[in-house]
Amino acid sequence: MVVSPVLQVCDLQVSFMMQKRAYPVLRELSYNLLPGRILAVVGESGSGKTVHALSLLGLLPPAAHVSRGKILYRDTDLLTMPRARLRDVRGSKISMIFQDPSASLNPVLTVGEQLIETLRAHKPMSKQQAREEAVRLLEKVGIADAPARLSAYPFEFSGGMCQRVMIAMALALSPDILIADEPTTALDVTIQAQILHLIRELQQKEKMAVIFITHNLALASEIADEVLVLYGGLCMEQAPAKDLFEDPHHPYTKGLLASLVSMDRRVERLPAIAGQPPMAGEITKGCPFASRCPQAQEKCRQQLPPLTQQGIRMVRCFEEKTL
Amino acid sequence: MVRYIIRRLLLLPLVILGVTFLLFFLTQRLSPEMRASLYVKDPRQMGALEEVIRQYGLRDNVFKQYGRWLGQVVRGDLGYSPSANMPVAKAIKEYLPATVQLALVTMILVVLFGVWFGVFSAVHKDKWPDTIARFVSVGGFSLPIFVLGLLLLMLFYGKLGWFAPGGYSFQTDLIVHGPSFKMYTGFLLIDALLNGNMRVFMDVLSHLVLPAVTLCIGSFALMVRVMRSSMLEELGKDYVRTARAKGLAEWQVVYKHAGKNAIIPVITLASIQFIRLLGGTVIVETIFDYPGIGRFGVMAAQQLDIAGILGFSLMVAVLFVVGNLVSDILYTAVDPRIRLD
Ligand SMILES: Nc1ncnc2c1ncn2[C@@H]1O[C@H](COP(=O)(O)OP(=O)(O)OP(=O)(O)O)[C@@H](O)[C@H]1O
Ligand SMILES: [Mg+2]
């Protein structure tokens, strides 16, 4: 049986305008997202993870724009869709949760109001119906005393609770896709585990696809089916989570994994990857990782290696892994 | 909340004592003869001066005189104002409503248009509507009130004859002080409506237009600026992105989400300006010969009418404290994070 993807990203390029010049911060990004699957997008700070997520829903800041590519949601291109249609998709077919849950909720509106308006934006229902539905949603994400909590304000909630509310809001209309942009980064460790558990549990119950954005490779391979590694706005390696974790091909992925190991062993001040990731708008002719790559050759600095199929994975490196 | 209000109201006497004592002390720089002279109308009776000084104890020490004044105030007697030719309390009752009316109409204009302009300008940042709004706000800011007031008066009264100075026309004066017109509140606009007299209402309103517009300009410019920058700041925040990601319509994102947050600083600004207007419409009231409390204050000051000056400052002090309190309470209504206690 062939399952058709819910989301197809084809050759996506996003650029920022700076001093009247366009600087691409995301290039040649292509992937398919299958229904009910979790795709993790992993990368260091500044690698373009958030920019990628925002471009999917047309939420890029004014200075940024998609300069090439297609984003197909069930065969319709989100990029060329009329704005009114795109609004129908946002929050109901594709929804999103963010890194800083406390700042992502409106401080002067009650939690209930924010849930209710989401429901009513997409489905005709009375205030009373929406209220009942909102209570049900809060209970679903594990908020105790839900009816009373509807009239609370976000500042009365902890960060973890706010993220639960965000999840309730995102799942309010049973979307096909949930985009989670570092949903646990701002939370402390025990809460992180709870939120992850909640996302996975609801993902399985609702059979939705998830794009899970994180800078933590270990977390990614734990939660995801498929992992995509971003570096300097380019996909470096994409593979099923297990394969990527057990047998990374790209030198950058290897480096990331090694740094995890060294963290486990509590070897401090020993960066597994020397050097700095590229700066914003810094476009090199060759591979963006070449300056930090232990295996880099002259060729790597001269031209950008293409993303090539190596078995069940895609790798962007001239160095073919030989077994 | 109730405790907060009570605590703030307890502060009121302190503020009043401070302000009035300071003024009282300053008026003592004038010789007793100067202070008494206003009560002696006829220059041929200059001999009565000493009589007045003795009668009111104007040579006593400051504290004794101040104590005497305070004692009267507590009993509700603010003294007699020679410049207005009536008791100070009566003068305030007579002139304050006109000023409140003027200030209210001005503030309604300022808030409505200022907020709307500010939002509009922020939403269209760096496009032509923003440029126009910024131009208007800079222009309004740099145009002195008396210049604008005189220009408007020249154009609309002198040339076009649309609006006249004063508080109301002669006919209205006759009606208002006639037997069939009942004064319910002292606010002519409201009383005209209560009496069902639309002619008086329109007449009073048309006399309000020029001074209100003149008063507007400066406050309006400031309001647009504050609203614009506040709105721009809010539009860049994370919760606005969430609101868009939820699929809300753009007007909901702008007005309900960003707008409700952006209006918070505007509330303080509006209440400060309102209070300032109540005590400070002096220039405009003078230009337009508007029968308000500001004109009373100026007259009292010019004629060294000490009872009038003290009564006027007492009123301004009370308005300040009460106005600030109201603004604090308004704050809590909009921003749930603020609890008064
Ligand atoms: N408003 C902006 N103006 C200019 N450049 C920007 C802007 N926002 C992001 N960028 C650039 O786009 C690139 C990608 O940024 P992005 O926020 O997507 O990174 P990220 O992977 O999400 O990082 P993080 O882990 O810190 O969230 C970065 O190089 C960044 O400097
Ligand atoms: Mg990010």
For B138-181, the pLDDT digits (tens) are 877 777 878 888 888 888 887 887 887 777 777 777 787 777 87
Q: Please state, rounded to an integer, the average pLDDT across all residues of chain B.
A: 85
Burial class of residue B128, CB neighbours in 10 A (0-12, 13-18, 19+): exposed
Return residues 72-91 of A near B (CB < 8 Å).
87-91
The residue contributing the CA closest to ligand 1 atom 10 is: A280
ipTM surpassing 0.85: yes
Residue partners of A33: CB distance under 8 A and separation at least 6: A5, A6, A7, A8, A9, A39, A177, A209, A211
Residue type, A72: L
- % of chain B surpassing 70 pLDDT: 99
- The pLDDT of residue A268: 46
CA distance B150 to B132: 25
Alpha-carbon A295 to chain mean position? 29
**Confidence (pLDDT) at A261:** 64
Give the C-alpha separation, A24 to A232, whole Å. 10
**Closest listed residue to residue B239, CA positions, set B224, B226, B252, B223:** B252
CA–CA gap between residue A235 and residue A108 (Å, rounded): 40
The residue extents of the domains of chain B are 2-82, 87-334
Could you read off the pLDDT of B60-102 as tens digits, one per residue? 888 888 888 888 888 888 888 888 889 999 999 888 988 888 9
> Please, where are the H alpha helices in A108-188?
111-122, 127-140, 146-149, 159-171
Among A82-86, A222-226, B195-199, the least confident range: B195-199
- Which H or E run includes B136? helix B128-142
Closest partner residue to A108 among B242, B247, B334, by Cβ?
B334
- What is the spatial distance between Cα A121 and Cα A106, in angstroms, rounded to a whole number? 16
The minimal CB distance from A153 to the residues B244, B334, B336 is found for B336
Task: Indicate whether A282 pLDDT > 70.
Answer: no
Angle (nearest 5°) at CA A235 between A229 and A240: 50
Position A251 pLDDT exceeds 70: yes
Residue A19 class from Cβ within 10 Å (0-12 exposed, 13-18 middle, 19+ buried)? exposed
Token representation of residue A119: 């429901």
For the residues A46-65, what does the mean pLDDT come to?
93
Q: What is the pLDDT of residue A270?
A: 42
Per-residue confidence band for A127, with pLDDT thresholds at 50, 70 and 90: very high
pLDDT at A262: 58
In this predicted structure, which of A106-120, B155-169, B258-272 has the lowest mean pLDDT?
A: B155-169
Query: Taking each helix axis from N to C terminus, what angle separates B62-74 and B2-27, rounded to the nearest 10 degrees?
Result: 140
Percent of chain A with pLDDT over 90: 62
Q: Confidence class of residue A267 from pLDDT cuts 50, 70 and 90?
A: very low
Query: The tokens of B204 are what?
Result: 């009073």
CATH architecture of residue range(s) B87-334: Orthogonal Bundle (1.10)
Kindly state the greatest CA–CA separation across chain A. 67
C-alpha dist (Å) from residue B152 to A139, A257, B159, B204, B223: 63, 75, 10, 18, 22
The confidence score (pLDDT) of residue A269 equals 43
In this predicted structure, what is the pLDDT of residue A323? Answer: 44
Q: Kindly report, residue by residue over A194-244, the tens digit of the pLDDT.
A: 999 999 999 999 889 999 999 988 888 889 999 999 998 999 999 999 998
Residue A219 alpha carbon to ligand 2 centre in Å = 16
- Considering only CA atoms, which residue is closest to atom 22 of ligand 1? A50
Dig out the tokens for B36 from the structure.
Answer: 């008494």
Q: Which residues of B touch A155 (CB under 8 A)?
A: 336-337
> Where would I find the beta strands (DSSP E) of B86-166?
86-87
A195 or B304: whose pLDDT is higher?
A195
